[in-house]
């Protein structure tokens, strides 16, 4: 089994994973654990990181590294899930339907996944890579986040009103996303911002809090965000504010920046 996996990991998908329309399977040296109802359900040092077309990366675990006594299998035979087994999870009276899945008869591109299971991230209570808790989904080793100090002049205009202006922004460059401009609160019209209840999480940056912006007679909801306690790798953006480029006019060194087309447009 180990020799077969070694060969498949080397040959499946040669393109960069986030651009590929093929399956790519790689070993990761990280120990990965997951908990449910306070019980350790997954504990593996033999994890496969798998990219499938149009999907975020997913961890797959050898069945031997999963507490299988807590899982019950059933076959999924509809649509593109034909040939896939779903697994219900139950621990100490608490259950999660379809918490995991596996391929009954993997095709050649997925042969390395035979006798492995993948889990829906949100179905588990907590995930750890080594001893660091990880949120949302596995971190992609081909996905970079770089934060750089800058002296560019950045101005943010909302509904014709200048809401932020600075010459000391920090620029965040993230693979596949527009440049984000993080601005000190002292350079933002905080009197125009209203705290929001919205919170989101990012595996590369941490948990973000949001503000709405009152400009004239309009309130633009959840337009601004900040990471009050980012993960250590992104500590340089701590407590700075960023605006959705897609929804505001941002001037950099006097030039208005095109509004990018993304899922937040």
Q: What is the pLDDT of residue 12?
A: 30
The phi, psi pair for 110, rounded to 5°, reads -115, 15
Q: What is the pLDDT of residues 89-125, one digit of tens each?
A: 999 999 999 999 999 888 899 999 999 999 999 999 9
Is 228 a residue whose pLDDT tops 80?
yes
Nearest to 181 by CA among 93, 260, 100, 126: 260
List of domains in the chain: 2-134 (2.170.150.40), 145-256 (2.170.150.40)
Nearest-angstrom CA–CA distance, 87 and 71: 6
DSSP class per residue in the chain? -HHHHHHHHHHS--S-GGG-SS-EEEE--S-EEEEETTEEEEEESS-EEEE-TTS--EEEEEGGGB-GGGEEEEEE-SGGGTTEEEEEEEETTEEEEEEEEEESS--GGGGGGTTEEEE-GGGSSEEEETTEEE-SSPPPTT--EEEEE----EEEEETTEEEEEES--EEEEETTS--EEEE-GGGB-GGGEEEEEEEEEETTTEEEEEEEEEETTEEEEEEEEEBSS--GGGGGGBT-EEE-TTTSEEEETTEEPPPP-STT-
Kindly compute the dihedral angle of the four CA atoms of residues 71, 201, 52, 103, in this order, to the nearest 10 degrees. 0
Nearest to 179 by CA among 250, 85, 92, 128: 250
Going by pLDDT thresholds of 50, 70 and 90, the confidence category of residue 176 is confident
Q: What is the pLDDT of residues 20-68, one digit of tens each?
A: 678 999 999 899 999 999 999 999 999 999 999 888 899 999 999 999 9
Q: What is the pLDDT of residues 120-147, one digit of tens each?
A: 999 999 999 999 999 999 988 888 999 9
Is 1 a residue whose pLDDT tops 50?
no
Nearest-angstrom CA–CA distance, 29 and 10: 15
**The overall pTM is greater than 0.95:** no
């Amino acid at each position: 089994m180990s020799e077969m996996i070694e060969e498949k990991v080397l040959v499946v998908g040669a393109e960069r994973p986030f651009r590929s329309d093929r399956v790519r399977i790689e070993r990761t040296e990280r120990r990965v654990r997951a908990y449910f109802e306070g019980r350790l359900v997954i504990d593996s040092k033999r994890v496969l990181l798998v990219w499938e077309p149009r999907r975020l990366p997913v961890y797959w675990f050898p069945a031997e590294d999963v507490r299988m006594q807590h899982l019950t299998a059933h076959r999924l035979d509809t649509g593109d899930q034909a040939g896939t087994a779903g697994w219900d999870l139950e621990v100490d009276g608490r259950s999660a339907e379809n918490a995991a899945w596996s391929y009954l008869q993997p095709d050649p591109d997925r042969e390395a996944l035979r006798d492995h299971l993948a889990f829906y991230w949100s179905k588990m209570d907590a995930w750890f890579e080594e001893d660091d808790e990880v949120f949302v989904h596995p971190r992609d080793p081909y996905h970079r986040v770089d934060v750089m100090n800058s002296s560019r002049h950045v101005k943010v205009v909302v509904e014709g009103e200048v809401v932020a202006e600075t010459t000391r922004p920090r620029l965040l460059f993230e693979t596949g996303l527009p440049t984000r401009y993080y601005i000190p609160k002292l350079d933002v019209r905080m009197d125009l911002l209203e705290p929001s209840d919205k919170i989101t999480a990012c595996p590369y940056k941490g948990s973000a809090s949001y503000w709405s912006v009152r400009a004239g007679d309009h309130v633009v909801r959840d337009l601004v965000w900040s990471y009050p306690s980012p993960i250590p790798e992104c500590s340089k953006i701590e407590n700075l504010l960023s605006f959705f480029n897609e929804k505001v006019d941002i001037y950099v060194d006097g030039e208005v920046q095109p509004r990018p087309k993304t899922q937040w447009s």
